[in-house]
A and B are shown apart, each in its own frame.
Chain A
Amino acid sequence: NAGVTQTPKFQVLKTGQSMTLQCAQDMNHEYMSWYRQDPGMGLRLIHYSVGAGITDQGEVPNGYNVSRSTTEDFPLRLLSAAPSQTSVYFCASSYSRGTMNEQFFGPGTRLTVL
């Protein structure tokens, strides 16, 4: 299994541009989520999905959209990039809710918005 994969690894955008960060998992996990990691702020939840067709907002959802058309894929869209969105983005997945839901993380996408 490849686990959780993310593309691209690095990206530089100009303010106002849009882009999609890709996330895929091959473990048949129901739960997928996006976090951002910023110095001094730790990791914070952006959006999450409990299954195909179901998404919900996390702690810091503004400026981001998600969709979940398949179990495997959970892309994160930046609609109009802003310098405040410069961060490292991690996608995570887990098998189920509850006590046994060990979270597996992808390698991250490092985004810079100029």
Chain B
Amino acid sequence: KQEVTQIPAALSVPEGENLVLNCSFTDSAIYNLQWFRQDPGKGLTSLLLIQSSQREQTSGRLNASLDKSSGRSTLYIAASQPGDSATYLCAVYMEYGNKLVFGAGTILRVKS
């Protein structure tokens, strides 16, 4: 059974810092890995999608990497801003079962 773990569970940083969120998964039979952002009381916003054959994807200040063989992904946020405060979720799309398996998320707070 696929298990997705996100570390740390919560993170508080001052504005301007670069930070790394970690995601690990136990089963490498995945089509892709997706990072989402969720604001309190809101839905999920897709940030980055990395295909299983890719090593990284970039969007603005965000960079996500994927090491499928070791079951790890990182989300790098450069020059953090208070508006980045949210819960960040990673999810892997399984090759079987037609489903996303989610981690529990990292709650990020960027202090001004």
Contacts and interface: CB of A to CB of B under 8 A. Distances in A.
| Most-contacted residue by chain A among B31, B44, B46, B53 (CB, 10 A) | B44
A86 B55 CA distance: 39
A104 interface: yes
A50 B31 contact: no
Nearest to B42: A107
A74 interface: no
B3 to A, nearest CB: 11
A30 to B, nearest CB: 11
A100 B49 CA distance: 8
Given A103-B46, A106-B43, A48 B98 contact: yes
A45 B101 CA distance: 8
Interface in B81-112: 89, 91, 93, 98-100, 102-105
Contacts of A102: 32, 34, 46, 49
B94 to A, nearest CB: 10
A26 interface: no
B102 to A, nearest CB: 4
| Most-contacted residue by chain A among B31, B34, B43 (CB, 10 A) | B43
A100 B51 contact: yes
Interface in A65-114: 90, 92, 97-108
B87 to A, nearest CB: 11
A65 B49 CA distance: 30
Interface of B: 31-32, 34, 36, 42-46, 49, 51-53, 89, 91, 93, 98-100, 102-105
Given A58-B99, A105-B46, 10 more contacts: A33-B100, A42-B102, A42-B104, A48-B98, A56-B98, A100-B32, A102-B32, A103-B46, A103-B93, A105-B36
Interface of A: 31, 33, 35, 40, 42-45, 48, 50, 56, 58-59, 90, 92, 97-108
